[in-house]
Amino acid sequence: MNKKVIGLIILVMFFLALTVNGAENETKWEVFVSKDEMTGKEVGYAISPSVTSSRKMENEVSAKLIVAYNGEFEMAFISFSDIPLLQGTSIGDEWDEIIHTRIKWDDEVEPVTLLHEWDSPAFLFKEDEEIVSKIINSDTMMLELNWYGEGNVYFQFPLEGADEAIDEIHKKIPKDEAKWRVYVSKDEMTGEEVWYAISPTVTSTQKMEHEVLACLIVGYNGEIELVNIWFSLIPNLQNSLINDGYDIIRTRIKWDDEVEPVTLLHEWGSYALIFAGDEKDYVSKIINSDTMMLELNWYGEGKVYFQFPLEGAAEAIDEIHNNFSE
């Protein structure tokens, strides 16, 4: 999940809380679309009725369950009327606060992980795709939170009408065109830039129990090219070789109709697989092929296949190179 996109959505939700309330919104799911007037990009929101804790809190807090969609990614989070102040949380590397708690879908209780940036009114669910599926297929969702000064409090959200609202935001927000795009990251301390050519987002060619998104990425910092594949879930692969802090995956890749062996590296806890070997060779094949298919032995799924369209890759890679003077 792109943290910058998430941050934008949370910011919009802060203002959304001021506009989406009132008696007419208390019993049904609502749909709202926000638009960035500078870029024209839209984000659609499916928003639950506002609820309060199932038992009275000293300072009443209301909450809304929200599913957001920007044409490429879907994400689920909960927006509160007050900044949540919880006990028993942990500090993460990428997130200020990580909350491990319990959630109940109808009568089924299970663990859940939430992510929180300090001073934000929202919690994000770590596993978006799985959560959205359960929102669609359940009648109620109850969340347990260890609230500072209150102990365990419980927020129960009605899910009737959620499926129609989520379907509506998908219809309102057109899916991003399947084309390669270019992105730059800059180190504000050194001024150094890394440019990325990024493929359209794809899913596996056959349905997996938990949908996994993937992008093929070529990164360039003016000296070194790096080819990797980013996934929306941490890859959990079988039959890999364990090394010091990373796994080595030997599998097969197909460029158009040509199948060949390939070696990938996976740093533990990372969302990416890195191509090992001659980066120039991989970049050349990306530029000169129409499709690339990767075979992975995914835990609990068996062999799964991700096929990436390469039309437009040459232009995107050329663009990231042109941003550095020779």
* Size of the chain, expressed as the number of residues it contains: 326
Instruction: Say how many CA atoms lie within 13 Å of 134 toward its Cβ.
Output: 24
Q: Is 18's pLDDT higher than 50? A: no
* pLDDT confidence band for 21 (50 / 70 / 90): very low
**Average pLDDT of the residues in 20-46:** 75
| Strand, helix or coil for residue 133 | helix
Per domain, the residue ranges of the chain are 3-172, 181-322
CA distance 186 to 249: 31
Distance of CA 257 to the CA centre of its chain: 31
What is the arithmetic mean of pLDDT over 197-212?
90
- The answer for residues whose C-beta is within 8 angstroms of residue 202's C-beta and 6 or more apart is 213, 214, 215, 306, 307, 308, 309
Whole-number Å distance between alpha carbons of 280 and 28: 55
Question: Does residue 293 have a pLDDT over 70?
Answer: yes
Higher per-residue pLDDT: 4 or 179: 179
The pLDDT of residue 188 is above 90: no
Q: How far apart are alpha carbons 102 and 99 in whole angstroms?
A: 10
Q: Which residues make beta-bridge pairs with 309? A: 291
pLDDT in tens, 37-53: 877 778 899 999 999 99
End-to-end CA distance of the chain: 34
Residue 93: pLDDT band with limits 50, 70, 90: low
Given a cut of 90, whether residue 19 has pLDDT beyond it is no
pLDDT tier at 185, thresholds 50, 70, 90: confident
Write out pLDDT tens, residues 112-139: 999 888 788 888 898 767 899 999 999 9
Which residue in this structure is represented by tokens 């969609």?
A: 69
Quick one: pLDDT at residue 174? Answer: 74
What contacts 319, CB < 8 A, 6 or more positions away?
A: 182, 195, 197
218 has a pLDDT exceeding 60: yes
**pLDDT, mean of residues 94-116:** 90
Considering Cα of 114, then 271, then 70, then 167, what sign does the dihedral take? negative
Which pLDDT band, with edges at 50, 70 and 90, does 88 fall under? Answer: confident
pLDDT at 126: 80
Most confident range, picked from 17-26, 116-125, 296-305: 296-305
Is 3-172 CATH 1.10.10.10? no
At 87, the amino acid letter reads Q
Give the H/E segment covering residue 114: strand 108-116
Q: How many CA atoms lie within 13 A of 189 on its CB side?
A: 0
Does the pLDDT value for residue 296 go beyond 90?
Answer: yes
Q: Residue 95 pLDDT more than 70?
A: no
Quick one: tokens of 177?
């065109």
Asked whether the predicted pLDDT for residue 325 surpasses 70, the reply is no
Model confidence at 187: pLDDT above 60: yes
Residues 235-251 have a mean pLDDT of 91
Res 47: pLDDT? 95
Residue 305 has pLDDT above 90, yes or no: yes
Looking at residue 2, what is its pLDDT?
47
Three-class SS state of 315: helix
Task: Indicate the range of 123-127, 152-156, 249-253, 289-293 predicted with least confidence.
Answer: 123-127
Task: Please tell me the predicted confidence (pLDDT) of residue 231.
Answer: 93
Residue 18 backbone dihedrals phi, psi, to 5 degrees: -80, -20
Amino acid, res. 63: A
Q: Please give the CATH number for the structural domain made up of 181-322.
A: 2.60.40.1880
Check residue 314 and give its pLDDT.
Answer: 95
